[in-house]
Structure formats: structure tokens, C-alpha cells
């Protein structure tokens, strides 16, 4: 059987996402093209690689074997590109990173800028995921570096501290809660929210709402923390955002910032790699840079 690198990348993306639709998007293919490739892979090998069910897909025993070898092959290719990139100007390499919303929006841009400027031959494939998914994916070899909450299961990972992430509530100056300095999430069940339009952080907040048996009343969803703060300042609703974003929005947005007192709202972010992972030269360089920044 002959699988090309696109086949292997697609297969790992589908296994990682647990969905052909999401895996195809991660691999940069249309759903139709991805489905055809997967069918051809199974037909060529005369073996079933994926179990398809109502809740998504999962690899068969043969699929697990293929995923293992695909991770090894693609990992060696990344390492080869990284090492040869030290000698060949024209050869580019790519480092795969998974990170949660707070890391991507509040911490990584500044930390990555200087390193990328010093390494113009390296591209970064940065994807947003929830912390639990990041831990599983990095441990399984789907990504070289992960940045996630320390509350996730760290089995199979080498972990180092990265940053503190605190979630706060933003309300207008005229809101009844504005006189408070801190508030519990359970006290907000009757409020109307301005939420995030998807993403790992909003998923995290929705999970916490589910744990206390509520569904948040959402008036609007936006993709930008600054926009959430401005609308909260206009008394359109309240928002939950990283403290760094709320402080950056400042008084000009008309908000009051309240500490969210629940334990889950204060998170230690960590950087992880798979235990005993053989990182490429560039991945090791980036990891060291993230630790020292």
C-alpha cells in the first residue's frame, strides 16, 4: 500500500479531531476531498481504518497502527527539516503548536514575534484547542508543543510553567454589580452575557455553566475581547474575559472589572511536550525561547 504525506497528515488530523469534517479543515482539505482520500486509503490497503458512528469517528486496531507509524514518519520529517534548515536557506520547516484561547490571544503574539523574526525559515502551525484536547494530542504526537491549563491531565507529558491566566467579569459602571470587587459565577445566572463566537475559552465557560445546571443567556457573540469589553461598558450585557484583556481595554471602554472568585477562573498555564520527544532543532529552540521570554 502507498500512502503519501497528505494522506498521513489527513488521517492523523481526523483521528485527532474525532471528526472527518474537523479533520479535513485542519488538514486544509474540503470534506469531499478528505472523504475520498480516506475511502481510497481503506480500499488500497483492503482494511477498515475508521469506525464511523453518530458521535464521530474512532480508529480501528488497524487505524491505531497506521496512526502510530504516521506520527513517527511525520515526526522524523519535521526533525529532518529542522536540522537541514540549519544548513539550507531554501528549506522551510514547520512547528505544530496547540494552545488554549488565553495563550493565543494574550501571551503568545509578543513571545513569538522576536523568535519568528530571528528564524524566517520556520513556519508555525498554531491551532486553538481546549486544554484536555491539547494534552491528549501532544502526548499522542499530533503536535510538538502545547500550551494549556495545568488543571488538565498531564500523563505522558513533560511540563514547564508558562504564565498565569485569570478570568474576570466585566460590567458597565452603572451595573448593580459594579460596586462589588469580586463575584461568584453562580451569582451571574440571571445576567445576560456577551460571549465569544466559539473557541476553547467559551467552551470552558459553557462547561462550568453546565456543572451548576444552567445555560447562559447570551445576547451576542463576538470574536474579540476588546469588543466584548466595549459592549459590556455600554451596558449591553456582561462578559467574562482574561484579566489582561480587561486591563488593556481600561477605563476608556467604560467597564468595571470584577474578580471571578471560582477556582476554575484562575489557571496556571504551562508549556508541554511529549515525554522523551525527539524535538527538531527549531522546536527545541522555540521551546527554550518560550521558557525564557
The CATH number for 45's domain is 1.10.10.10
Residue 89 belongs to some domain of the structure: no
- Number of domains, the chain: 2
Any domain includes 282: no
Whether residue 81 is predicted with pLDDT greater than 60 in this model: the reply is yes
Domain extent at residue 176: 163-267
Whether 140 is in a domain gets the answer no
Provide the residue count of the chain.
293
Of 257, 206, 200, 203, which Cα lies nearest the Cα of 228? 257
pLDDT of residue 130: 85
Last residue of a domain, one of 38, 61, 84: 84
Residue 1 is classified by DSSP as: -
What average pLDDT does the chain have? 89
Q: Is residue 275 part of a domain?
A: no
Check residues 271 and 53 and name the one with the higher pLDDT: 271
Indicate whether 147 belongs to any domain. no
Domain membership of residue 188 (yes or no) is yes
Domain assignment present for residue 133? The answer is no
Lowest average pLDDT, out of 111-115, 127-131, 184-188, goes to: 127-131
Instruction: Report yes or no on 158 lying in a domain.
Output: no
pTM, to two decimals:
0.68
Residue 264, C-beta contacts closer than 8 angstroms, at least 6 positions apart: 151, 204, 208
Rounded Cα gap, residues 259 and 246, in angstroms: 11
User: At 197, which CATH number?
Assistant: 3.40.190.10
Which of the listed residues 66, 84, 102 is the one where a domain comes to its end?
84
Amino acid at each position: 500500500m502507498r500512502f503519501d504525506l497528505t494522506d498521513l497528515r489527513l488521517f492523523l488530523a481526523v483521528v485527532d479531531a474525532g471528526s472527518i469534517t474537523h479533520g479535513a479543515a485542519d488538514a486544509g482539505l474540503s470534506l469531499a476531498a478528505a472523504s475520498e482520500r480516506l475511502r481510497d486509503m481503506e480500499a488500497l490497503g483492503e482494511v477498515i481504518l475508521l469506525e464511523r458512528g453518530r458521535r464521530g469517528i474512532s480508529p480501528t486496531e488497524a487505524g491505531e497502527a497506521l496512526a502510530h507509524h504516521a506520527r513517527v514518519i511525520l515526526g522524523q520529517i519535521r526533525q529532518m527539516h529542522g536540522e537541514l534548515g540549519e544548513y539550507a536557506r531554501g528549506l522551510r520547516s514547520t512547528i505544530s503548536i496547540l494552545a488554549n484561547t488565553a495563550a493565543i490571544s494574550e501571551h503568545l503574539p509578543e513571545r513569538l514575534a522576536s523568535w519568528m523574526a530571528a528564524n524566517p525559515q520556520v513556519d508555525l502551525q498554531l491551532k486553538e484547542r481546549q486544554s484536555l484536547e491539547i494534552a491528549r494530542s501532544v502526548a499522542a504526537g499530533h503536535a510538538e508543543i502545547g500550551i494549556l491549563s495545568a488543571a488538565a491531565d498531564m500523563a505522558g507529558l513533560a511540563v514547564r510553567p508558562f504564565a498565569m491566566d485569570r478570568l474576570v467579569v466585566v460590567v458597565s459602571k452603572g451595573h448593580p454589580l459594579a460596586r462589588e470587587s469580586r463575584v461568584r459565577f453562580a451569582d451571574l445566572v440571571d445576567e445576560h452575557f456577551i460571549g465569544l463566537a466559539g473557541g476553547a475559552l467559551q467552551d470552558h465557560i459553557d462547561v462550568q455553566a453546565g456543572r451548576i445546571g444552567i445555560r447562559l443567556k447570551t445576547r451576542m457573540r463576538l470574536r474579540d475581547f476588546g469588543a466584548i469589553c466595549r459592549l459590556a461598558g455600554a451596558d449591553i450585557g456582561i462578559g467574562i474575559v482574561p484579566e489582561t484583556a480587561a486591563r488593556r481595554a481600561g477605563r476608556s471602554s467604560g467597564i468595571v472589572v470584577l474578580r471571578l472568585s471560582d477556582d476554575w477562573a484562575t489557571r496556571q498555564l504551562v508549556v508541554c511536550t511529549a515525554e522523551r520527544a525527539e524535538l527538531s532543532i527549531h522546536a527545541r529552540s522555540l521551546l527554550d525561547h518560550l521558557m525564557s521570554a
